[in-house]
């Protein structure tokens, strides 16, 4: 039996269903430094919200709220956070599962970016702007095409020959 989507035609984001929140903790008292390997104490804590694949049966998106620790190495004098690369790329608001499905829908199924965005909402209850999907697909293609190309030096003529511009005195 076909059940119509209740979100079709909704133009006000506040009328969309609220996300179900899953709490995760990456809060540790001590972690080893990525540079020197020494044990470092927790300096502070942070929070990060990641959009994940939603629950289609409940009709709600899923957000993962990660509480994590920030550490300081006194020997190296650096600050670092707990590794969350298994969940999402650094700085990303979406989990790796969302990125993988979005790229697959565009590349393998051949959907345009706007239709892929709608597909992700309709079938997985995660809203991803189509421009974000386009960036992900282009980034995935750049990684593959760069591997076979020879890289060209980006040194300018001045850097190559050691010539530098000087300011003129007025």
* Nearest-angstrom CA–CA distance, 158 and 120: 49
Confidence grade of residue 3 (pLDDT, cut at 50, 70, 90): low
60 contacts 54 by C-beta, under 8 angstroms? yes
pLDDT at 33: 93
Q: How many domains does the chain have?
A: 1
Tell me, yes or no, whether 66 lies in a domain.
Answer: yes
Tell me, yes or no, whether 148 lies in a domain.
Answer: no
pLDDT at 163: 55
pLDDT, tens digit, 9 for 90 and up, residues 122-159: 889 898 999 999 999 999 875 444 444 444 445 555 55
pLDDT at 52: 95
**To the nearest whole percent, how much of the chain has pLDDT over 70?**
81
pLDDT, tens digit, 9 for 90 and up, residues 23-63: 999 999 999 999 999 999 999 999 999 999 987 778 889 99
Tell me, yes or no, whether 55 lies in a domain.
Answer: yes
Structure tokens given for 162: 């050691």
DSSP state of 89: -
Closest CA to 113 of 141, 132, 94: 132
Tell me, yes or no, whether 161 lies in a domain.
Answer: no
Mean pLDDT in the chain? Answer: 83
Q: Model pTM? A: 0.74
Question: Please, which residues bridge with residue 110 across strands?
Answer: none
Centre a 10 Å sphere on the Cβ of residue 128 and count the other Cβ atoms it contains: 22
3-state helix, strand, coil split of the chain in percent (to 5) is 30, 25, 45
| Burial readout 45-78 (b: 16 or more C-beta within 10 A, e: otherwise) | eeebebbbbbeeeeeebbbbebebbebebeeeee
pLDDT at 9: 72
Provide the residue range defining the domain that includes 33. Answer: 13-143
Tell me, yes or no, whether 2 lies in a domain.
Answer: no
Confidence grade of residue 165 (pLDDT, cut at 50, 70, 90): low
Tell me, yes or no, whether 95 lies in a domain.
Answer: yes
């Amino acid at each position: 039996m076909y059940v119509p989507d209740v979100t079709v035609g909704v133009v006000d984001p506040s009328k969309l269903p609220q996300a179900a929140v899953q709490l995760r903790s990456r809060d540790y008292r001590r972690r080893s430094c990525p540079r020197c390997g020494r044990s470092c104490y927790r300096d502070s804590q942070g929070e990060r919200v990641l959009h994940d694949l939603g629950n289609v049966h409940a009709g709600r998106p899923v957000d993962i709220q990660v509480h994590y620790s920030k550490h300081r190495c006194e020997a190296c004098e650096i600050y670092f956070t707990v590794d969350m690369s298994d969940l999402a790329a650094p700085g990303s608001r979406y989990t790796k599962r969302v990125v993988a499905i979005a790229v697959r829908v565009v590349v393998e199924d051949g959907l345009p970016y706007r239709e892929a965005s709608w597909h992700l909402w309709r079938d997985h209850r995660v809203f991803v702007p189509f421009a974000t999907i386009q960036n992900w697909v282009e980034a995935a293609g750049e990684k593959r095409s760069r591997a076979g190309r020879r890289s060209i030096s980006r040194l300018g003529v001045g850097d190559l020959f050691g010539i530098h511009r000087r300011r003129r005195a007025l």
